[in-house]
Amino acid sequence: MNSLYLAWQYIRFNKFKTIILVASITLIAVLPLSLEILLAESERQLLNRAESTPLLIGAKGSALDLAMNSLYFDDEVPELLTMAAADRVYDTDLALPIPLYARFQTRGHPIVGTTFDYFDFRKLKIAKGQPLTMLGDCVLGAKVAAELELGPGDSLVSSPENLFDLAGVYPLKMKVVGVLTPNHSADDLAVFVDIKTAWIIQGLGHGHQDVTRTRDSSVILKRSEGNVAANAKLFHYTEITDENLDGFHFHGDTSIYPVSAVIAVPYDDKSGTLLRGRYLEGDESQLIILPAEVIDGLLQNIFRIRNVLDAVIALVGLATLLAIVLVFTLSLRLRQREIQTIFKLGCRKATISRMMMAEIVLILMFCAVLSSAALGVIDSNAEELVRRLFIG
Amino acid sequence: MISIQNLQFHYPNSEFRLTVPEFAVSPGEKIAVVGPSGSGKTTLLNLLAGILTPKQGKVRVGEVAVSDLGDAGRRDFRISNIGFVFQDFELLDYLSILDNILHPYRITGALKLTGEVRQRAVHLAEQMGIAGHLKKPPGELSQGEKQRAAICRALLPNPSLILADEATGNLDPTNKNRILDLLFESVAEHDATLVAVTHDHELLPRFDRVVDFRKFQQGAGSKELGAKSPLPPTPDSQHPTPASP
């Protein structure tokens, strides 16, 4: 106990030196371990999500972009395809098509346009409020609701895609009608809308005052039989309400409207195999992927990088340890006088060694406590960190 | 109490040689050792304390032949029986004055740190006039106060032999006498023996005996001056001294 007491007094007196030492040791311990935690978590998240998604259909291009956008709502939007792609799957009678349009954002969170089937497929339940019922409604992922402190009855405005596009589409004020239960996946961080609402956000569907009934002649450019042309003064709705719902409409055939991907849920294994076969033609403009295969390939690359990273960390760790040994050695040299005094007083060699060891033990204990705390924080936030650092 | 016979000592790779054919100190005696710098006064104290071991000859303190003990034995003997006041205090910067005084109790199992010991440490500090500084680190004390703290550390275990190397060197005249009074009181109280190296000739009459160390170096055996004897000649230049270690 006396050794520990003296060691503690020494450490207290040399606070600055101790803090630097503890910080370096902690850092070198926490760095590889936290990386290990985050990589394991990212592997878990990536694989879980990928393995639970049987097939993904997208426009020909990057399979990785398609998988990352469709599974984790990554910012990188893949080549778009049309709603006809979903109809095509439906017509095969081999799988259930679930269209996804994950292109827009609101307050830093992805807006995912989809259909009711998506909620059933991902087993997403409403924790508060109700499911989507009309255009302009949105349902929040659990973490979005918590982070933005929003719930049913509140509203959210979509973010413009390009701030400098002055002639662009007005942001849409969406009504929050429900909040989902957490499912510890990218769904928790997304805002879900009906796919038609996503098209309205893009400006493909819109609502404005009825030009056939307006009495304001300054709005009308040209009126002819069966056709009225209005100028830019025409008031466009930026929010869908019960009153103006009828004013919203889509021009043209919605089958040519864009989607970013179609999740295909085969009715059985054989159907899945047959469906994949349909997309293997050479002139096929669409791509069908097994998300698990794509993500597995990504993970292999991550692990290769991790090996390099591990080696770098090991080298840095070794260098730090050597520096720490040097610090201890120099410290011992600087403390020769003190050691001489203790020796002259009659202290045994073993006691002197025990005192030095007590200092090292105390320092290592501080490092262990700090490292544990840091790793605890990282571990408890790993899910969020992985999504923000690696996936999101 | 102390007896030295045919002692020879030299540091490795040094011209310095210390030869003491015979030297004895009686129990309870208070002797002053004087001599020029580098004449081996501190070396003698270190030999008595078992910090150094003679190349030849015997050093006995009480019933124990210190020179025959092994390293661990000498350390145990030293911490239990000898109070050493070092020339430059040798207080530890990172300990408070109280912890410095209690330090010998924290570095050995031979001494038990009890409440009574703590009380005695505080009492000693009061006697030395440093009770108000017990919680301060040595860096905040004057040289004289540090010296007094070092003396408290040496006296606390009630040693049978007190070795003081320039114990009053950093003190003003008033404090010199006060500290010497305390040392003498402690010696008397515990029936201890005091061997003090000093350059301060004003203090010599207060010792029982003064040993002029230059006489050892001249190979003429120990010339031991009697108590209250006339002061030895002081100018160091009159007697060439051996090379210091």
More confident residue, A180 or B200: A180
Least CB–CB distance from B75: residue in A337, A341, A347: A347
How does pLDDT run across B127-177, given as a tens digit for each residue?
A: 888 999 999 999 999 888 898 899 899 999 989 999 999 888 777 787 788
Q: Measured on CA atoms in the order A108, A111, A117, A119, is the torsion positive or negative?
A: positive
Residue of B42, B99, B102, B107 to mutate, testing the A interface (most A Cβ within 10 Å of its Cβ): B107
Question: How high is the pLDDT of residue A391?
Answer: 60
Least CB–CB distance from B72: residue in A337, A341, A348: A348
A10 shares contact with chain B (CB less than 8 Å)? yes
| Whole-angstrom distance, CA of residue A128 vs CA of residue A192 | 14
Mark yes or no for CB contact A347/B79 under 8 Å.
yes
| Whole-angstrom distance, CA of residue A57 vs CA of residue A209 | 38
Q: For residue A116, is pLDDT > 90?
A: yes
Mark yes or no for CB contact B107/A345 under 8 Å.
yes
If pLDDT is split at 50, 70 and 90, which confidence band does A76 have?
Answer: confident
| Whole-angstrom distance, CA of residue B61 vs CA of residue B193 | 10
Mark yes or no for CB contact A13/B137 under 8 Å.
yes
Strands B30-34, B193-197: pairing kind: parallel
B chain contacts of residue A352, beta-carbon cutoff 8 Å: 107
Q: Spell out the domain ranges in chain A.
A: 2-46+303-391, 55-204+251-289
CB pairs under 8 A between A and B: 63
B chain contacts of residue A355, beta-carbon cutoff 8 Å: 107
Q: Does the predicted interface ipTM exceed a cut of 0.85? A: no
User: How many residues would you count in chain B?
Assistant: 245
A327 shares contact with chain B (CB less than 8 Å)? no
Whether B82 contacts B110, CB under 8 Å: no
| Whole-angstrom distance, CA of residue A170 vs CA of residue A346 | 85
Q: Measured on CA atoms in the order A59, A61, A64, A65, is the torsion positive or negative?
A: negative
Average pLDDT value over all residues in chain B:
82
Mark yes or no for CB contact A346/B93 under 8 Å.
no
| Whole-angstrom distance, CA of residue A144 vs CA of residue B61 | 82
How does pLDDT run across A167-183, given as a tens digit for each residue?
A: 566 788 899 999 999 98
Q: Which residue of A has its CA nearest to B96?
A: A9
A chain contacts of residue B139, beta-carbon cutoff 8 Å: none
Question: How high is the pLDDT of residue A130?
Answer: 94
Q: Which residues pair with A128 in a beta bridge?
A: A179
**Distance (Å) from the alpha carbon of A362 to chain B's nearest alpha carbon:** 16
Whether B203 contacts B176, CB under 8 Å: yes
A chain contacts of residue B113, beta-carbon cutoff 8 Å: 2
Q: For residue B64, is pLDDT > 60?
A: yes
How does pLDDT run across A302-357, given as a tens digit for each residue?
A: 778 878 888 888 888 888 888 888 888 888 888 888 888 888 888 888 888 898 89
Structure tokens at A291: 């998300």
If pLDDT is split at 50, 70 and 90, which confidence band does B62 have?
Answer: confident
| Whole-angstrom distance, CA of residue B78 vs CA of residue A292 | 75
Mark yes or no for CB contact A344/B51 under 8 Å.
yes
Average pLDDT value over all residues in chain A:
87
Spatial CA neighbour of A287 closest among A278, A296, A295, A298 = A278
A chain contacts of residue B80, beta-carbon cutoff 8 Å: 346
| Whole-angstrom distance, CA of residue A374 vs CA of residue A390 | 19
Q: Find the mean pLDDT for residues A194-204.
A: 89
Mark yes or no for CB contact A343/B51 under 8 Å.
yes
Structure tokens at A332: 């011992």
